[in-house]
A and B are shown apart, each in its own frame.
Chain A
Amino acid sequence: MKRRDFLKSVTGVAAGAMVPAPAIWSAAKAQARSETLLIVSESGPNNLDIHGVGTNVPGYEVSWNCYDRLITHEMKTGPGGVAYYDRDKFKPELAEDMKVGDMSVTFKLKKNAKFHDGAPVTAKDVKWSLDRAVSVGGFPTFQMGAGSLTKREQFVVVDDNTVRIDFAKKDRLTIPDLAVIVPCVINSELVKKNASEKDPWGLEYTKQQTAGSGAYKVTKWTAGTEVIMERNDDWVGGPMPKVKRVIWRMVPQAGNRRALLERGDADISYDLPNKDFVELKGGGKLNIMSVPYSNGVQYIGMNVKIPPFDNPKVREAVACAIPYQKIMDAVLFGLGKPMFGAAANAPTEVAWPQPTKFVTNIEKAKALLAEAGFPNGFETTLSFDLGFAGVNEPLCILVQESLGQIGIKTTINKIPGANWRTELNKKALPLYTNVFSGWLDYPEYFFIWCYDGKNSIFNTMSYQSKEMDAFIHGAVDAAAIGDKAVYEKDVKGFVDLAFKDIPRIPLYQPYVNVAMQKNVSGYQYWFHRRLDYRALVKA
């Protein structure tokens, strides 16, 4: 009988606990809820410092909101009325003003800027931080290099409040590169105190805590579970943010993230499957933002060093056999911007990404394949990154089916996320789908990465062409000296050549999808595609 009593009491307690939590909330907790933004996403940061070894993309979001840069971008109205960062207009963040000279740029710092621990932000901190970015190696150093910022000597302390950055060469990307996430300003004295001989830049310290002057500071971080950030009330980098506290919880299950949103428990979520976003949009209970990735394209790539893809006719045949519209409808549910099917007489624009003129045309594809000497097709493998299986898998199945119609038999090769980059680096995949997007939104930036003869990791096709290199470098040089006519000619030149040689077939520009409650506003689209809490408002 005792067991039965026990069971009874257990069910009693269980039933009691089932009563919805808000009933027992104190007034203080309800108040806290209205000032707190609850964000849910699939994965969280592995490092709070973007300079760290292998910091993941969610880590960038922390860095963006908890550290300041010298300058940042102005906002403008983007596609669909969403606030969108203005690529060409900069405004000061930690700097008070910026004077661009011929071969250098000088920043005066805001005098009242303070780090989270109260120490003033000085020119020494700026120099130390930039020195760190170009010295630690890995991604941060590399990103600095993209703006020709490579040597510590380039960063000069003029006086306590003034920093000068010398240009290594004329490069249009230098100033924009100072407004990306990497050149953040770190509390150098605090970090130096916590550095060691083995770790001179204090990476271990900043991995666990934020040491910046930004609008938010991390007060608690449980890796893989949650990040809690509090507003820095002494922030001078911009208008005081409205949200006092941000709680960012990791919810691995997409269905649960959706349920949390629909029940009104979570305020914002991103990285939901496209289908969910479309349904939520239709439901009308939430605000849904869909903005195309700036400078990003999902594509089908072909390795031009591996026969038969060394034959341009074969590549063109594949481009004619892609089921473009089906991919837009059945895989993306319309949440993507088509990068195909431009009118036959449409002129090439000075812009990237832009649509190709390809449409699905099986007859033409068959004819081209026969012309190339493969009337009966051939066999190959079609690879994709399992880390993005939600889109990649159905996409590849559609492509497989369509290529089957022209006799190209493909075996689908699923590669786990951890191996994907290794495989890409080997440049041994004959046919695959992938996505690339650049932080800096300039056509030549994309092409340096993806089509240049120096064959970077993102030139996944191993495409090398002297003609292409001439166009790309012509555009880079013309941009540096502001020669608009030459620049436009060269950009059109490389776009046309990329579409003629077609080593990679653009499919669409993916969308960043963010779902939030109706009482949350102020979403801004940034090149890094993560959330900027500073502008968000919870009514």
Chain B
Amino acid sequence: MLTMIGKRLMFAIPSLIGVVIVTFLLTRALPGDPAAYFAGPAATKEAVEQIRKKLGLDKPLIEQFFRYTADLARGDFGNSLTTGQPVATEIKNRLPASAELTLLGLVVSIAIAIPLGVLAATRPGSWIDHLCRVTTTAGVSLPVFFTGLVLVYVFYFRLGWSPAPLGRLDVFYSAPPTVTGFYLIDAIIARDFETFRSALSQLILPAATLAVFSLAPIARMTRASMLAVLSSDFVRTARASGLSPGTVIVTYAFRNAMLPVITTLSMVFSFLLGANVLVEKVFAWPGIGSYAVEALISSDFAPVQGFVLTMAVMYVLLNLLIDVLYGVIDPRVRLEG
């Protein structure tokens, strides 16, 4: 197992180097001039030049690149111009916010999608199968910002059940001391249940929005893979041997149907983490997606590079984790590995 992990990490190095080079070149190729943008509304040509010099953008590209990689090697991602903070700190603060939201959304989504998919597969053509089809189609065809806004409108504006969509905590609470960066966990560690409650109530609507959106791939994949497994020989044998339907479905079929579902989960997770910009915007969530998009809009190179790099690392780690999980679920993979 360890050799496999080591090997996989080795293979990741060239792709990370590639990511560094490509993001550097891409951000430089973006239209727009950060110097002109940050020189402010009343800047003269000289003022723009002064800013350009300060930002080091007057140097040749190759020199900028070497400076960038040298900084990277020291763990310095550079400074964001739009927020004025070091990129590494920002990502460190914002990644848990996005991750907490995404994970919770995913948990909710799994809790609904997997039973739904399994039930739909065991009774194809029944009402539950149709329910599965309708929910997933609706979930995937409603744009997230729309679902988010509708939820805010109904639960906050109309009914007043949900707190104001003002980010991770109500204005009058302060964040629990940082341990993991996940407010729910940190609040429990600090035994501050009022903050826990506030953090959770802030999380419900955005997590539900994400869950609605990510239902479809998980439920559909569960259903398809369950159907394939259920029609296979070993399930027929199990049934013929008189095993109870529950044992057949859960122990035999479901475990075998898990592999593609796990793969889908990892894809959905990494996709949600970077792409829940709209949810973050709607709920004023201080996450990593909205950070990257804002930086992109203002030609702010450092955060964009930092974001892409972090995402690349996350992908590598996630894929590794999935491979390890495969081994746990399916002994065949373990043996081959």
Contact = CB atoms under 8 A, between A and B. Distances in A.
Contacts of B82: 46, 56, 224
A137 B50 contact: yes
A419 B31 contact: yes
Given A226-B167, A256-B152, 17 more contacts: A3-B115, A6-B111, A20-B161, A21-B170, A24-B194, A32-B172, A53-B81, A138-B39, A142-B42, A142-B43, A252-B284, A255-B149, A259-B152, A418-B297, A418-B298, A421-B36, A421-B39
What bracket does the count of chain B residues touching chain A fall in?
A: 35 or more
Interface string B284-302: 1010001100100111000
B198 A21 contact: yes
What bracket does the count of chain A residues touching chain B fall in?
A: 35 or more
B282 interface: yes
Given A251-B284, A418-B299, A54 B47 contact: no
Contact of A14 (B33, B204, B284, B291): B204
Given A137-B47, A137-B50, A253-B282, A54 B163 contact: no
Given A18-B162, A47-B84, A422-B33, A224 B294 contact: yes
B235 to A, nearest CB: 21
A16 interface: yes
Contacts, number: 177
B157 interface: yes
A270 B194 CA distance: 31
A207 B84 contact: yes
A232 B108 CA distance: 46
B294 to A, nearest CB: 7
A266 to B, nearest CB: 8
A413 interface: no
Given A142-B42, A416-B297, A225 B84 contact: no
A21 B163 contact: yes
Contact of A142 (B47, B54, B204): B47
B268 interface: no
B77 to A, nearest CB: 15
Q: Which of A56, A208, A417 has most chain B Cβ within 10 Å?
A: A56
A13 interface: yes
Interface string B138-165: 0000000000010011011100111111
Interface string A248-272: 0111110110011011011000000
Nearest to A228: B171
A247 interface: yes
B252 interface: no
Given A54-B37, A138-B51, A249-B166, A18 B282 contact: no
B42 A422 contact: no
B171 to A, nearest CB: 5
Interface string A137-167: 1110111000000000000000000000000
A255 B38 CA distance: 28
Nearest to B194: A24
B164 A17 contact: no
Contacts of A259: 152-153, 156-157, 165
B7 interface: no
A224 B297 CA distance: 14
A456 interface: yes
Interface in B27-42: 31-34, 36-42
A208 B164 CA distance: 28
B150 to A, nearest CB: 11
Given A33-B172, A139-B43, A249-B171, A262 B157 contact: yes
B85 interface: yes
Interface in A58-106: none
B281 interface: yes
Contacts of B34: 418
B267 interface: no
Contacts of B171: 36, 38, 226, 247, 249
5 contacts: A46-B80, A54-B38, A256-B152, A259-B165, A419-B31
B137 interface: no
A225 B198 CA distance: 17
A107 B285 CA distance: 47
A97 to B, nearest CB: 31
B191 interface: no
Contact of A18 (B81, B153, B201): B201
Given A224-B286, A252-B290, A256-B282, A265 B164 contact: yes
A351 interface: no
Interface in A1-36: 3, 6-7, 10, 13-14, 16-21, 24-25, 29, 32-33, 36
Given A46-B83, A416-B297, A425 B45 contact: yes
